[in-house]
Amino acid sequence: MKHYSPILLFFITLIFVSCRENMPVKKESAAADSLEHYMQLSYDSKFSRERQRDFSNKAYRIGIESNNDSLLYKGLYNKIEQDLQYNSDSSRYYLSKLKTLALKIKNEAPLGGYYYLSASYFLPINIDSSFAYYDRSKTEYLKANDSMRAGYSLLMMTDLQRISSDYYGAETTATAALACLKNSGEESYLVAVYNYLGVSYKQLFNYENALKYYRKAYDTAKDSLSKDVVMNNIALIYMDQKEYGKAIKILTKLVAKKSSDTDLEFKAKAIDNLGYSYFLSGDKRGSQYMLQALHLKDSIKDEFGSMASCLHLSEYYLRENPQLARKYAEKAYSLANKLKNTDDKLDAIKFLSKTSASKQESDKLFSEYTTLNDSIRIVRQKAKNQFAKIRYDSKQVEEESLKYQAENAENKLKAEKAKRRNELLLLTISFLVLVGTLFYRLLKSRHEKEKFQEAYNTETRIAKKVHDELANDVYNAMTFASTQNLDKPEKKEALIHSLDSVYLRTRDISRENSPIELGENFPNQLKIMLSEYQNQSLNVLIKDIDTVDWIKVDENKKLVTYRVLQELMVNMKKHSQATLAVIDFSTVDKKIQIQYSDNGIGMPFGKTILKNGLQNVENRIKSIRGTLIFDIQTNRGVKLSFGYPV
């Protein structure tokens, strides 16, 4: 049974007021001063929620009367933010008004604020939609160079992935948030990022990294309660590692601190964890602490906490008092149903089954446990895949939008050039004559002639590659866009398909030649590269990449690993028609082994691998004294492995 889940630092309840910095107004403006005054009052916790909401409505009315779009946006944002705390049915209507204003202002920051509030609106309704809006909010804030708000949106995305048990995804997103927030000076944001990373690594059983980031959170935190929460999380790591003495030492200090009396919910959790640690270490003092914690949690109506305490007590009494164990399991089961907490409900069913009085009841509970456990696993796996798809789709929409804007600009430039064709032609001829004269003089020297010829040949190859692979398709897309009615869905879809093809080939060329980070961030970059090939029709599974000690691997070998896997993924995507690709990493006898497999159409019998575009793979692996093994079965996909000494 898992013990009390890690306490997340402050599920970040900071008020997120967009546009205060991004849309300045004149200080002498009476309307601006009044609006700012009422907005500040709406965030003042000394007033009741009703009064805060009244202040936000006054700020909104001032924005309407000001005839200033920026002021109206700020007032409307403030109103929606307050309304969302009441789950107001009108929030969606005002969100549509906010979007219209954001587009009118033509600035990325207001649009980022709209997407952020939309994510908040969908948070209790649909996690997928909320995640997608946070992702778009992050993108708009990055465009506006507002890394702090972009980082906050990434933090919210991280928490949604954590809730859905997508810990690999949460680690990646939290790392991106850290990059945005590390220079923000916002202590609470950084503490939250480090804590999320600690939680993710703990759930992935990477306790060394979990402790590393929890300690960073502790060093960053300024207030006593934040530090206590981090220490509690560290104690939970030691409990997982069965180092109960270390956990008890930390928790005893937390329980004894007078400052913890100001937050009874945290104090109760610390007492419960202390009692559970005593119990797991074989010390009978555990029951008195767990009972004390349950009493405190019941007194402050902490139902989630009471549920955890009941599970601990049920486990404690299983052997010495099965009837009492069943009593606590029944209470935990009831609370889990009420709170819709499926994980704790599973634990409660397990304890009820162990204290069952009849085989019929035991079989019924086992059936319920199996059904519930299977459904949880399926839902969480779907959530992980959906998060990846949302991020991929969001990126595609953004890229297509940028390309469409570029096409429009190119069409306008083309029309302008057509008007001056004769002038440009004359200028081009003059330029070519001048260049020809310069080349003639430079060719007097044989050495200079050879250098020029080499440069010319290089430019020709590059020009040919771009012309053959991209130019014609780009021109055709431009012509299509300028001659067809794009309001028709089929025409628009055809244009999007054409642009997507150009984009994919451009991205492949860029990816094949892009720089690679070979330092500490190498495994994350490798994961990102492999994950980019995942889409709606292809699932990419990356196994045990973090078990390899990449710090000890030579940079050249990292580069070969990256390029080999990149070529395999490109070859698979082009030829295999696979729906699943698995990349498995391991270290055996100081040798790194990487196994690749897919369920595509495989290699036709009698044809060598080298004829299927994998010559470079073998050459690269040989260059680092590695070995390559192919295992090909007709119509059963491709399976190969390669390895090299560390």
- Alpha helices in 144-263, H assignment, sequence order: 147-163, 167-181, 187-203, 207-220, 224-240, 244-256
The pLDDT tens digits of the residues spanning 548-562 come to: 999 999 999 999 999
Question: Which pLDDT band, with edges at 50, 70 and 90, does 430 fall under?
Answer: confident
Whether residue 295 is predicted with pLDDT greater than 90 in this model: the reply is yes
* Fold held by 520-645: Heat Shock Protein 90 (3.30.565)
267: Cα within 13 Å, side-chain hemisphere: 16
H or E element at residue 113: helix 108-122
Whether the predicted pLDDT of 325 surpasses 80: yes
The CA distance from 268 to 262, in Å, is: 11
Q: What CA dihedral angle connects 60, 62, 68 and 72, to 10 degrees?
A: 0
| Contact residues for 69 (Cβ-Cβ < 8 A; gap 6+) | 101, 104, 105
If you search the block for the tokens 């970040």, which residue do you land on?
Answer: 12
Angle at 419 between CA 413 and CA 422, to 5 degrees: 115
Which pLDDT band, with edges at 50, 70 and 90, does 541 fall under? very high
Range list of H helices, 467-516: 472-483, 489-513
What's the CA gap between 169 and 388, in Å, rounded?
Answer: 8
Closest CA to 626 of 612, 641, 607, 638: 641
Decide if pLDDT at 496 tops 60: yes
Mean pLDDT of 337-363: 76
> Is 25 a residue whose pLDDT tops 50?
no
pLDDT at 17 over 50: no
Per the CB < 8 A criterion, the answer to whether 385 and 372 are in contact is no
- Rounded to whole angstroms, the Cα distance separating 352 from 355 reads 5
How far apart are the C-alpha atoms of 531 and 528, rounded to whole Å? 5
Distance CA 49, CA 323 (A): 46
- What pLDDT, on a 0 to 100 scale, did the predictor assign at position 398? 52
Top pLDDT among 111 and 124 is at: 111
Q: Could you give the 3-state DSSP secondary structure of residue 263? A: coil
> Is residue 307 within 8 Å of 335, Cβ to Cβ?
yes
> Does 418 or 240 have the greater pLDDT score?
240
Structure-block tokens of residue 263 = 């937050």
Q: Are strands 539-543 and 580-588 parallel, antiparallel or unpaired?
A: parallel
Torsion of CA 156, 160, 165, 171, to 10 degrees: -30
Question: Is residue 2 pLDDT above 50, yes or no?
Answer: no
**pLDDT on residue 485:** 75
Q: Mean pLDDT for the chain?
A: 79
Residue 487 neighbours by CB under 8 Å, 6+ apart: none
On whether the CB atoms of residues 63 and 42 are closer than 8 A, the answer is: no
The CA-based dihedral angle spanning residues 320, 324, 325, 328, taken in that order and rounded to the nearest 10 degrees: -150
> Of the ranges 15-29, 115-129, 360-374, 522-536, which one carries the lowest mean pLDDT score?
15-29
pLDDT tens-digit map of 68-92: 888 888 888 888 888 887 766 788 8
pLDDT at residue 593 is higher than 90:
yes
pLDDT in tens, 356-411: 776 666 666 667 667 666 666 665 566 556 666 666 555 555 554 445 444 454 55
Q: Which of 133-142, 420-429, 432-441, 493-502 has the highest mean pLDDT?
A: 133-142
| pLDDT value of position 635 | 62
Sign of CA dihedral 494, 500, 505, 509: positive
- For residue 327, what pLDDT band results from cuts at 50, 70 and 90? very high
Average pLDDT for 410-419: 64
Q: Record the tokens describing residue 563, joined without a space.
A: 């390029």
β 591-598/580-588 pair status: antiparallel
Q: Is the pLDDT of residue 447 over 50?
A: no
Domain ranges of the chain: 520-645
Count H helices and E strands in the chain, helices first: 25, 5
- What phi and psi values does residue 625 have, to the nearest 5 degrees? 60, 40
Highest averaged pLDDT of the listed ranges 159-168, 175-184, 504-513: 175-184
The answer to whether residue 27 scores a pLDDT higher than 70 is: no
pLDDT at position 292? 94
SS3 540: strand
Say what the pTM is.
0.54
Rounded CA-CA distance 270/261 in Å is 11
Burial 185-210 (b: 16+ CB within 10 A, else e): eeebbbbbbbbbbbbbbbbeebbebb
Distances from the Cα of 302 to the Cα of 236, 295, 312, angstroms: 20, 10, 16
pLDDT confidence tier of residue 418, bands split at 50, 70 and 90: low
Q: Which of 16, 60, 68, 340 is nearest to 188 (CA)?
A: 16
Q: Does an H or E element contain 120, and which?
A: helix 108-122
Of residues 569 and 469, more confidence is placed in 569
Token pair listed for 458: 């290089």
3-state DSSP assignment of residue 155: helix
- 232-249: per-residue pLDDT in tens? 999 999 999 999 999 999
The confidence score (pLDDT) of residue 268 equals 92
Is the model's pLDDT at 169 over the cut of 70? yes
Statement: residue 311 has pLDDT above 80:
yes
Give how far the C-alpha of residue 324 lies from the chain's centroid of Cα atoms, to the nearest Å: 44
Asked if 331 contacts 313 with a C-beta cutoff of 8 angstroms, the reply is no
Angle at 317 between CA 316 and CA 321, to 5 degrees: 165
Sheet strands side by side (includes 638-645): 539-543, 580-588, 591-598, 638-645, 627-632
Which of 31-40, 117-126, 285-294 is the most confident on average? 285-294
CA 79 – CA 84 distance, rounded (Å): 9
Q: pLDDT band at 461, cuts 50/70/90? A: very low
Distance separating alpha carbons of residues 265 and 260, to the nearest angstrom: 9
Q: Specify the pLDDT at position 375.
A: 62
Query: How much is the pLDDT for 550?
Result: 93
570 or 2, which is more confident = 570
Confidence check: pLDDT of 107 > 50 = yes
Euclidean distance between CA atoms 646 and 640, whole angstroms: 20
DSSP structure string for 45-64: TTS-HHHHHHHHHHHHHHHH
Report pLDDT for 432. Answer: 76
If you average pLDDT over residues 222-239, what whole number do you get? 91
| Secondary structure class of 641 (helix, strand, coil) | strand
The label of the residue with tokens 């050039």 reads: 417
